[in-house]
Every structure is written in structure tokens, then in C-alpha cells.
Amino acid sequence: MKTKKIILNFVVASTLLSVATPLLGVDVKAGTVSARDPQKSPFISENAGLDASDEKQVWPNEKIEQLTETLSELHPEFTKEYLKNLVMSQLNDEGIPPLSKKDIVTSHLTGTLSTKENWKGVTVAQAGAVIDTIIGTLIGNGAGALTHAGLNAAIRRMGRKELTRVVRQKLIRRFGAAGAVSSKLIDTALNYSSPGTMIAKYWDKHDAYPNNGRINFW
């Protein structure tokens, strides 16, 4: 009788362990993509991704320079060196380069571009540049990537639904849970020459401190 009781207890314990283990695993994994964790950088790298595969791309220097020039026209508040670093970090599937005062073009400096350490969140301008870089490297047309013609060509090639899905996946990969904007928003943003700015302004409008020129999800 005592032996049967021991066996029964062992079976029950094993069953509970098999049920609890995957639940604990989900909790831990969810914690790694939380965009509200103050200890983590707002620009989450591959740890926040939906796809753990290697996403590195190899571009010729000419193509990199072309996309950098396009980004500079859309985001003149940043130096070309910083924008090129954004392109390289995206192609190499690395975290987003931090922004410093030397990366800002003084003639375009505004209050919302301040790099003061006591200002929480990233600027709308910086988030917009990052998102445009993501989309530009995804489309892959260099100089024409973020033009209406380039975006329309990508839509024809990939299909609007598929392009929207992939862009959304890339945003989540870079920004964690905060990047999970609706497909409808992304679809609308693709009608703009700077989809990133449109999405960043939407974030700013719906974050903890609306319309302050900064993304305050973190």
C-alpha cells in the first residue's frame, strides 16, 4: 500500500512539472520583449525578434551611399555619417546606434531633438529615421527605395499585404512589443515618402506623454 502511494505521488509530481515547465518558459520569453522595462534600451536588437534566423545583408558601397543620401533628404536633422551607421546596423542585423550631439545637424536642431540625458524616450525624428532605414533596406532599391515609385514597385513585387506583414515583423524585431502596430497603420504609412515619420508621430500621439515630440513607451 505504501509503495503504491509513493508511485502515485511520483506520477502526480511528474505531471505537474510537465505542465508548469512550458508555462514558466513563456513567462521568461515574454519578459525579454517587454518594451516597458526601464533597464533595457528602447532599441531592442535581435532578442526581440519574431525570427531568430540570421538576417544580415550584403550591399555594395554605392547602394549604401544611395540609401544614405535618400535618408538625408528625408531626415536632414541628422548627419549623413549617423544615417549611414543606421543603414549599416540594419544590414548587419545589429542594435541601433546611440544618438549623440555630434550626430545632429545644428541648423535643424529643435527642442524635441535634445540629447539631454534626463529626457526619457527617443525623439520622433530619430524613430522615424530608424523605421525608414528598416523599410529602405527591406525594399532594397538604394536611391529609389523610399520614393513613391520605389514603394509602389515594392508593393507590386511583394503584394501590399505581404509587404505590410514583413514591415510589421521588422518593427517588432527592432522595437519589441511597442513595435506591434496594426497592419492598417503600416498600410497607410506606405502611402507616404517617409513611412517612418508617420508611424513615429502615431506613436508619439498615443504614448504616455502625447505629442511631446518623443516616444515615451519606455
Q: Is residue 193 part of a domain?
A: yes
In sign, the C-alpha dihedral spanning 131, 137, 141, 143 is: positive
Task: Please check whether residues 17 and 104 belong to one and the same domain.
Answer: no
pTM above 0.75, yes or no: no
Q: Is residue 37 part of a domain?
A: no
Q: Is residue 132 part of a domain?
A: yes
Task: Please check whether residues 149 and 104 belong to one and the same domain.
Answer: yes
Task: Please check whether residues 26 and 61 belong to one and the same domain.
Answer: no
CA distances from 131 to 13, 30, 88 (A): 49, 23, 14
Task: Please check whether residues 80 and 2 belong to one and the same domain.
Answer: no
Task: Please check whether residues 77 and 140 belong to one and the same domain.
Answer: yes
Q: CA 193 to CA 190: how far, in whole Å? A: 8
pLDDT of 199 over the 90 cut: yes
pLDDT of 189 over the 80 cut: yes
Out of 7-11, 37-41, 132-136, least confident range = 37-41
- Give residue-wise pLDDT tens across range 18-64: 333 332 222 222 222 233 343 343 443 333 333 334 567 888 899 99
- Most distant CA pair in the chain: distance in Å? 86
Task: Please check whether residues 135 and 79 belong to one and the same domain.
Answer: yes
Task: Please give the residue range of the domain that contains residue 188.
Answer: 46-215
Task: Please check whether residues 110 and 209 belong to one and the same domain.
Answer: yes
Q: Is residue 177 part of a domain?
A: yes
Confidence of residue 142 (pLDDT cuts 50, 70, 90): low
Task: Please check whether residues 85 and 169 belong to one and the same domain.
Answer: yes
